[in-house]
């Protein structure tokens, strides 16, 4: 079974630039999550999708972050414009139901 | 909302010694509890999980954890640590709606 795929693996941008991350969940998993993991901390949930609908985006900084999952499969997370404090690893996870979340390898973002 | 505390930021053990990583949670109902491991540059890998039933849970790589409701704890144990176990370990608590909160992590160093 293929795991959660994410791209790119690494991204370096300057502050105020825009960036987008892509995630392809495990086939058949209805729930998809985006997490932000700042160095030295545990992952923090940014947004949770159930199919193509948003379940929870209470911790998403909506003035600069956006995410979509238009067809209920893969998803993109965008930051526009980026700030220095957005430097982190962005993890995508998927889950078939109320069960274990399977994580992708993450995208490491560095904002200069 | 649920929360997780991992009291130990960093633990060092000798190879072959036993290991216990502490995790305390806060949640009003019976939680879903997880332990994940993250090696440098990698995503999170599930070690074990507890939903209900037997409070002693066996996981992969020789790890086990015990759910103690009276102490609100879910400590991770391994009888004999291997050098390859050096990594960051995250405890997480989930609610029925899949809302998962992670602890800040415990970094494990293994001495030869």
Q: Give the distance from residue A36's alpha carbon to the nearest chain B alpha carbon, in angstroms.
A: 11
Q: First vs last Cα of chain B: how many Å apart?
A: 41
Q: Provide the pLDDT for residue B27.
A: 84
Strands A107-111 and A10-13, bridge-based pairing: parallel
C-alpha B105/C-alpha A73 separation (Å) is: 30
Each residue's pLDDT tens digit, A15-47: 999 999 999 999 999 899 999 999 988 999 999
Residues A91, A46 contacting (CB under 8 angstroms): no
Contact B44 A91 (CB under 8 A): yes
Out of B4, B43, B100, name the one closest to residue A104 (CB): B43
Q: Is the sign of the CA dihedral A38, B3, B53, B79 positive or negative?
A: positive
Please check whether residue A58 touches B, CB under 8 A.
Answer: no
Check if B3 contacts A (Cβ < 8 Å). no
User: For chain B, what is the mean pLDDT?
Assistant: 92
Rounded to 5 degrees, what are φ and ψ at A55?
A: -95, -40
Q: B34-69, pLDDT tens digit by residue?
A: 999 999 878 899 999 998 889 999 999 999 999 999
Quickly count: other Cβ atoms within 10 Å of residue A50's Cβ.
16
């Amino acid at each position: 079974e293929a795991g959660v795929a994410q791209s790119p693996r690494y991204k370096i941008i300057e502050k105020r630039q825009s960036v987008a991350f892509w995630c392809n969940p495990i086939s058949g998993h209805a729930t998809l999550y985006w997490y932000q993991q700042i160095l030295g901390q545990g992952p923090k949930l940014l947004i949770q999708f159930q199919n193509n609908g948003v379940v929870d985006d209470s911790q998403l900084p909506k003035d600069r972050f956006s995410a979509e999952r238009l067809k209920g499969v893969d998803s993109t997370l965008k930051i526009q414009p980026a700030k220095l404090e957005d430097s982190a690893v962005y993890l995508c996870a998927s889950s078939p139901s109320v069960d274990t979340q399977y994580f992708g390898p993450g995208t490491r973002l560095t904002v200069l | 909302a649920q929360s997780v505390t991992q009291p130990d930021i960093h633990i060092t053990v000798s190879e072959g010694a036993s290991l216990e990583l502490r995790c305390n949670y806060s949640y009003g109902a019976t939680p879903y509890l997880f332990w994940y491991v993250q090696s440098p540059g990698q995503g999170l890998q599930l070690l074990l999980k507890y939903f209900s039933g037997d409070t002693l849970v066996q996981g992969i790589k020789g790890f086990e954890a015990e759910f103690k409701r009276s102490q609100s704890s879910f400590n991770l144990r391994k009888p004999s640590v291997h050098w390859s176990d050096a990594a960051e370990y995250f405890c997480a608590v989930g609610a029925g709606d899949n809302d998962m909160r992670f602890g800040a992590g415990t970094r494990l160093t293994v001495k030869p």
